[in-house]
Each structure stands twice: as structure tokens, then as C-alpha cells.
Amino acid sequence: MRLFRVGLMCVGILTTTVIAQTTTKAGVVAELDRRSPLHLRVTLRSGAASDVTIYRADLPWGNRYSMVFAAVRPSGESLDLMLPIDDPGPTKTSLKAGESLTGDVDLRYVIRDVNALKESDVLLFWAYKAPQELHLPEWIGGMVLVPKQK
């Protein structure tokens, strides 16, 4: 009987895991790229009920100013950010309802002194203002821990 209950619990856990993995939620997720730790891997999922067309520069990785950043050491000291000229282009892209796109933000073009990442961990706060067409919250944000680089 005990073995039956344990088996039943395992099936319940696995079923919940599969359901959780197949449930997709509109929004933005940002995480460090495991293969390239100075790249932020960003996934955007449309919340629109139909196909939408937006400027490519409005994607989180489409332009340096598509996302807002703040980089802080655990001590509270802020790091200087790069503010390059990055004019948005006229190219557009389309997303189907619920479709997701993934792109990279190269942190070497965000944090002015990349060598600062060799001194300590860095807390990278980010925010993205989504185009209205995507039917997402106006601002989406989060924090990523950038571990001390070797």
C-alpha cells in the first residue's frame, strides 16, 4: 500500500510538472546565457489575440534603449552604463498570437567597464516597455545576478 501511495505521488508530481512546462504565459523572461555569460538571453511572448507587427527596434534586444538597465554591486555601488548612439531602424517584424521570440543583449555594450565584473558579482536590474500591440503590461522588469567573472 505504501509503495502504491509513493507511486501515486510521483505520477501527480510528474503530471503537474508537464502541465507547468506546457503552460505558456505572455511576457518577458531574461536570464544569462549559459554559453556566453556576458549575454542576456531575452524571450518575449506576445499577449495579443491576433498577429501583430512591430518595429524590430522595439524588441528587447532590438536597440540599446529598448531595455532600461541599472547595474549594482552587492555593496550598493552602482556601475556606469554605456549610452551609445543607437538609432532605431525602420525594419518591422511580425508575431503570431502567443508566439515567442528570443534574442540576446550583449552586456559588453551595456556596462561601461566590463572589467568591473571581475571584481564582484553584479545585480543587473532591467525593465522593458512593451509596445501596446503585444498586449503586455506597459512595463515588465526583473533582476539577473551576473556572477563575478574570472
Per residue in 109-129, pLDDT (tens digit) is: 999 998 889 999 999 999 999
- Give yes or no for a contact between 37 and 147, defined as CB atoms under 8 angstroms apart: yes
Could you say which DSSP state residue 114 is in?
Answer: G
- Does residue 2 fall inside a structural domain? no
pLDDT tens per residue across span 4-42: 343 334 434 333 333 334 446 889 999 999 888 799 999
In a domain, 8, yes or no: no
pLDDT at 140: 95
Domain count, the chain: 1
More confident residue, 3 or 137: 137
110: buried, middle or exposed (CB in 10 Å: 19+, 13-18, 0-12)?
buried
**Which is nearest to 45 in space by CA: 112, 135, 116?**
135
What's this model's pTM, rounded to 2 decimal places? Answer: 0.79
Which of 85 and 117 is assigned the larger pLDDT?
Answer: 117
Per-residue pLDDT, 24:
62
- CATH number at 85 reads 2.60.40.2970
Report how far apart, in Å, the C-alpha atoms of 55 and of each of 107, 136, 137 are.
22, 16, 18
pLDDT cut 90: percent of the chain above it: 68
Question: For residue 5, is it within any domain?
Answer: no
Query: 79 has which bridge partners?
Result: 71
What pLDDT band is residue 84 in, cutting at 50, 70 and 90? confident
Which residue range is the domain that position 120 belongs to? 26-146
